[in-house]
Amino acid sequence: MTTINEIFRAFAPEYIERYPNMPGHHRKVIAAIINCRSGKYGTTVYRCLKCGQKHFISRSCGNRHCPMCQYHKTQAWLEKQLNKQVGGQHFMITFTLPEEIRPIARQNQKLVYQALFKASSQALKKLAQDKRFIGTSLPGFTGVLQTWGRQLQYHPHIHYIVVSGGLSENRDAWIPSRKDFFVHEKPLSIIFRAIFMKEMKKAGLSGQIPSSVWKKDWVVDSEAMESADNSIRYLAPYVFRVAISNSRIVKVEDRFVYFKYRKHSSKQMKTMRLEVMEFIRRFLQHVLPSGFMKVRHFGFMNPNCCTPHETIVKLIEDHTGETLKKVEPSEPPKQYCSDCGGELVYLWSIIPMFHQRE
């Protein structure tokens, strides 16, 4: 099976030569993907408990954009979030940037992504405070930025998992939202648009955006989720998923990459073909600015919230009459001997002092 790492090893040097002025963080990602599990980041040594054979395994790059390094991170994050969950119904609310703004976002990623988080989170808080909806000054939600569509096109949007309610002003009671929606989508999109426009003016980017954008309806989608577990398990892959996984790559042939994608609102799989330089370009446009946090927690889901997690869980349980199920910690993943199938135990790691992970 062809992997993204193999594609980068074969064609990224040509891409770098063709586009020498690419951003520095793109170069770092290219280097990390090329060198992942190549031995450049060192070696981990294991011993088989059954046959005693030693196994030398090349270390991974650990880069958040490398498709080979995300599975265990996803599982660890999922378990941590399941242990932080609260009861009650949840909603998935998605905020999407209009197509006309995407070229500006692509050239000013850090500024626009910050504005996207600020406008969407403040819009949610503002409407949650309105007594016509909930009347809470402290809702709780978690957002994850995603920048790609099914065909690797540039499509910035944020998925929020929102708990269906919030705390009262004195933090001693739970105020639930309606079961069918958290807040109305229409006023939410209007407030989202207004705050984003203000942020673009502040950043000096509003002059590059067509005036018609501020008159059209912006897309905000809200969907009720069955449970907290389902919401978090749905969101977890987005936290560490890169623009495309290795499992979607079909083949590379005659300088074209063939990959699978699912049509919107359909279970039918299609195959798309991209010239390899265009494939790498589309992949790299989803590389986040260095240090940018794509996952953010708000309200009582923020780790700095002064109301203890246990108190919030108890208030929701008292209101709903349902007891939150505890999540049992999972065992660390095991590795097995390729010769006899015995379990491998860690011995030591050899890490080059002159070379660190990107």
Instruction: Identify whether 300 is part of a domain.
Output: yes
Q: What share of the chain is helix, strand, coil (3-state, %, to 5)?
A: 40, 25, 40
pLDDT for residue 358 is more than 50:
no
Q: For the segment 25-58, what is each residue's pLDDT rounded down to a tens digit?
A: 999 999 999 999 999 999 999 999 999 999 999 9
Q: Is residue 47 a contact partner of residue 344, using CB atoms and an 8 Å limit?
A: yes
Who contacts 113 (Cβ-Cβ below 8 Å, separation ≥6)? 105, 145, 156, 288, 289, 292
Instruction: Identify whether 100 is part of a domain.
Output: yes
Give me the domain span that covers residue 98. Answer: 86-243+286-320
CATH number, domain of 217, equals 3.40.1310
pTM over 0.85: yes
Instruction: Identify whether 294 is part of a domain.
Output: yes
Q: Which residue has the tokens 């505890």?
A: 326
Pairing mode of beta strands 344-350, 43-48:
antiparallel
Longest dimension (CA), the chain: 71
Structure tokens that stand for 170 in this block: 């004195």
What CA–CA distance (Å, rounded) separates 249 from 242? 13
Instruction: Identify whether 55 is part of a domain.
Output: no
Q: For the segment 75-99, what is each residue's pLDDT rounded down to a tens digit?
A: 677 777 777 778 888 999 999 999 9
Closest CA to 47 of 60, 62, 57, 36: 57
Instruction: Identify whether 81 is part of a domain.
Output: no
Who contacts 125 (Cβ-Cβ below 8 Å, separation ≥6)? 139, 298, 299
User: What's the structural domain count of the chain?
Assistant: 1
Instruction: Identify whether 355 is part of a domain.
Output: no
pLDDT at residue 85, rounded to an integer: 78
Instruction: Identify whether 1 is part of a domain.
Output: no
3-state secondary structure of 96: strand
Cα R_g (the chain), whole angstroms: 23
